């Protein structure tokens, strides 16, 4: 049973617009969340993280929002650029001090020029 | 500085054959992870080594899978005998310490016919 779900396998967005990637989780013990970005033929690379003590974390064009009561997080990319086209994975753990992350299945984002 | 190196990048084999995947972590990193990526299950942690010692192999699917880390700069993941359901992308990742940011290699795409 998937504890971390990314229900949209793909998403297309026009360049300059906002991209919103969603992630839902079922384990209420999850305390720390990550987003990874993956280009074709490359491994995933760390993008941004958020701890459950916060509901928002921002890094340049990337913002992650966490809604603990809904067990939902989202990654916003504003403005979207063609270079953002990639697969995005969310991941969760029960402890930021752990090595063990549960990953979602990924969402493929395509930013159209 | 070289990232995580994996070989081969692609492997096609027949059911029943032995498959060996190789990984060279980033120099100085003391934690190494093997993941498997499938469309249905996303990224799953197979095994975690710390200082060359297997710490958590609870994700290894069955006895057909084995992993070794004979020294700090080399690890192997072996599947014997391989089955079609083993077809997936296998990633190796390393981190400076267990809970740290994980750096992924480019992956090995395995197809078992």
pLDDT for B43-67, tens place per residue? 999 999 999 999 999 999 889 999 9
Strand ranges (DSSP E) for chain A?
Answer: 4-5, 10-14, 19-25, 32-38, 45-51, 56-59, 62-67, 72-77, 86-93, 102-103, 107-112
Residue A29: what pLDDT? 93
Is the pLDDT reported for residue B1 higher than 70?
no
- Say if the Cβ atoms of B91 and A43 lie within 8 Å: yes
Is the pLDDT reported for residue B88 higher than 70?
yes
Mean of all residue pLDDT scores within chain B: 94
Question: With an 8 Å Cβ cutoff, is A84 touching chain B?
Answer: no
Is the pLDDT reported for residue B100 higher than 80?
no
Q: Give the mean model confidence (pLDDT) for residues B99-111.
A: 92
Residue B18: what pLDDT? 97
**Which residues touch B110 (CB under 8 Å, ≥6 apart)?**
B11, B13, B19, B21, B79, B82, B86, B87, B88, B89, B90
Residue A96: what pLDDT? 79
- Which residues in chain A show pLDDT less than 70? none
Integer Cα distance of A20 and A91 in angstroms: 16
Integer Cα distance of A105 and A108 in angstroms: 10
Interval B16-35: pLDDT, tens: 999 999 999 999 999 999 99
Query: Is B31 within 8 Å of B17 (Cβ atoms)?
Result: no
Residue B67: what pLDDT? 98
Size of interface A-B (CB pairs under 8 A): 56
Question: With an 8 Å Cβ cutoff, is A107 touching chain B?
Answer: no
């Amino acid at each position: 049973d998937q504890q971390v779900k990314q229900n949209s396998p793909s998403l297309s967005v026009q360049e300059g617009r906002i991209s919103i990637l969603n992630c839902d989780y079922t384990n209420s013990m999850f305390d720390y969340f990550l987003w990874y970005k993956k280009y074709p033929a490359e491994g995933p690379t760390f993008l941004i993280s958020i701890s459950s003590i916060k509901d928002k974390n921002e890094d340049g064009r990337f913002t992650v929002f966490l809604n603990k009561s809904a067990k939902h997080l989202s990654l916003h990319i504003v403005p979207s650029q063609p270079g953002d086209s990639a697969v995005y994975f969310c991941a969760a753990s029960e402890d930021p001090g752990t090595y063990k992350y549960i990953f979602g299945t990924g969402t493929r984002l395509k930013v159209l020029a | 500085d070289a990232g995580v190196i994996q070989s081969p990048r692609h492997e096609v084999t027949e059911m029943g054959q032995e498959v060996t995947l190789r990984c060279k972590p980033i120099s100085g990193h003391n934690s190494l992870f093997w993941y498997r990526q499938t469309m249905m299950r996303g990224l799953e942690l197979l095994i975690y080594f710390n200082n060359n010692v297997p710490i958590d192999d609870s994700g290894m699917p069955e006895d057909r899978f084995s992993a070794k880390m004979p020294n700090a700069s080399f690890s192997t993941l072996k599947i014997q005998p391989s089955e079609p359901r083993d077809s997936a992308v296998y990633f190796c990742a390393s981190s400076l310490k267990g809970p740290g940011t994980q750096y992924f290699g480019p992956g090995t795409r395995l197809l078992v016919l």
